[in-house]
Amino acid sequence: MVSVLANALMVLPGKLVLGRLTMGDGRILALEPGTGVPEGALDCGGDLVMPGLVELHTDNLERHIEPRPRVAWPHAPAIVAHDAELAGVGITTVFDALRVGSIPDRSKGSYFEYARALASEILALRAAGALRISHLLHLRAELCSETLSEELAGFGPEDGVGIISLMDHTPGQRQFTDVTQLRAYLMGKHGFTEADFEAHVADRKDIWARKGAAHEAAAVAAAGRFGAVLASHDDSTAAHVAASAVHGVAFAEFPTTLEAARACRAAGIAVMGGAPNLIRGGSHAGNVAARELAEADCLDILSSDYVPAALLTAGLRLGELWGDLARGIATVTAAPARVAGLDDRGRLEPGLRADVIRVTRIGGAAVVRGTWVAGRRVA
């Protein structure tokens, strides 16, 4: 079936063109300038038409499977609801970020294995045609854990893992360089006492001393075994970035300082910033502001992280900040697709997948008025 989106302001690589987009057999067939609306075409009324958004790191599924602390929700309906939410905000490809590496058997601060079972359910729903958008796997490898190597061994090339990120949440490192931030988080959200906190810090540092180096090597090896792209997480210093470069990291998730972002730029490592950070005007954890990275020309990719609707709005805001809408939109479409090795999407070009969204702006809100995945309307 052939579909035409006409009278649309098309966001093409490096430019905007008023015209029409034709798609069929799952692909973009043609892009033509002009204001005409052929019979049977959808008149977009000058709305933006752009590639579907590509999300490399989102914790949103975890919110659906545990909608309240210690409240477990059935996984299949949670995955379907997560999928529908993403389709509704213009995300057409998502790498669902699943934590691997657990710390069981602690009175406080325990967390348990879930990734293998949840990944199997995602893949089964995908195979059954139950999901609207493209779902791929991102394994968040928690280096400071007891079970990372064993959990990674439960995955194989047949799972199609696309990304493995190296995450170190050891107190005093990276995101938690300032342990006062960690103290406030654990006491505020989990009711830790000062004694609980001190015991937690000692326990995590002991785990790192026993397991950290071996887990880092296992995660890097797993990425090679799966053919996955490797990402770093919360780089804070040039030394962190140098280690990432040795491992072959392709992109850095949420560097916490401008120093680290600049080191990534020098090393040829793409920099991912948080869309919520950009929209809020700063990091909720006291890290470098995404706007500061953008103004320093050290921001390549945006991720919605924990707010799916933030991705589109942040891409548009970057376009305003840079005075180049096509460049801003590329941070949520072409750039993440490229770094993840998805050469068939992320741009409006003939022959590529017809992952397309129609967007209008009403006040300060970006409103998705249509989402197509491989040419099929899904929202």
Residue of higher predicted confidence among 195 and 28: 28
Please tell me the distance from the alpha carbon of residue 103 to that of residue 207, in angstroms, as a whole number: 9
Q: Which of 198-202, 227-231, 335-339 has the lowest mean pLDDT?
A: 198-202
Token readout for 239 is 């030394």
H helices of the chain, where?
Answer: 60-65, 75-88, 115-127, 148-152, 179-190, 194-207, 213-226, 238-247, 258-267, 275-280, 290-295, 310-322, 325-330, 334-339
Q: Delimit the CATH 3.20.20.140 region(s) of the chain.
A: 53-344
What is residue 310's predicted lDDT score, i.e. its pLDDT?
97
Q: Which of 110-119, 234-243, 288-297 has the lowest mean pLDDT?
A: 110-119
Task: Classify residue 69 by burial, with Cβ atoms within 10 Å: 0-12, 13-18, 19+.
Answer: exposed
Please tell me the distance from the alpha carbon of residue 92 to that of residue 78, in angstroms, as a whole number: 18
The mean per-residue pLDDT over the stretch 207-221 comes to: 91
Given CATH 2.40.160.50, say whether it is the number of domain 53-344.
no
pLDDT above 90 covers what percent of the chain? 80
Question: Is residue 99 over pLDDT 70?
Answer: yes
What is residue 33's predicted lDDT score, i.e. its pLDDT?
98
* C-beta separation of 340 from 121 below 8 A: no
What is residue 194's predicted lDDT score, i.e. its pLDDT?
75
Question: Which tens digit of pLDDT belongs to each residue from 257-295?
Answer: 999 999 999 999 999 999 999 999 988 777 899 999 999
Inter-axis angle of helices 258-267 and 238-247, nearest 10:
30
Strand partners, 20: 32
The mean per-residue pLDDT over the stretch 144-172 comes to: 91
Which DSSP category does 52 fall into?
P
Question: Which tens digit of pLDDT belongs to each residue from 160-190?
Answer: 999 999 998 776 576 666 666 666 666 656 6
Global confidence as pTM: 0.93
Please tell me the distance from the alpha carbon of residue 234 to that of residue 219, in angstroms, as a whole number: 16
Mean pLDDT computed over every residue of the chain: 93
What is residue 1's predicted lDDT score, i.e. its pLDDT?
86
Residue 151 makes CB contacts below 8 A (sequence gap 6+) with 100, 101, 102, 113, 115, 116
Question: Is residue 107 over pLDDT 70?
Answer: no
The mean per-residue pLDDT over the stretch 144-153 comes to: 93
The mean per-residue pLDDT over the stretch 26-52 comes to: 97
Question: Which tens digit of pLDDT belongs to each residue from 295-341?
Answer: 999 999 999 999 999 999 999 999 999 999 999 999 999 999 999 99
The mean per-residue pLDDT over the stretch 63-67 comes to: 93
Instruction: Give the DSSP letter string of 56-74.
Output: EEE-HHHHHH-SBTTB---
What is residue 208's predicted lDDT score, i.e. its pLDDT?
80
The CATH number of the domain covering residues in 1-51+345-379: 2.30.40.10
| 3-class state of residue 172 by DSSP | coil
Confidence of residue 106 (pLDDT cuts 50, 70, 90): low
Q: Delimit the CATH 2.30.40.10 region(s) of the chain.
A: 1-51+345-379
Phi, psi of 207 (to 5 degrees): -60, -45
What is residue 172's predicted lDDT score, i.e. its pLDDT?
59
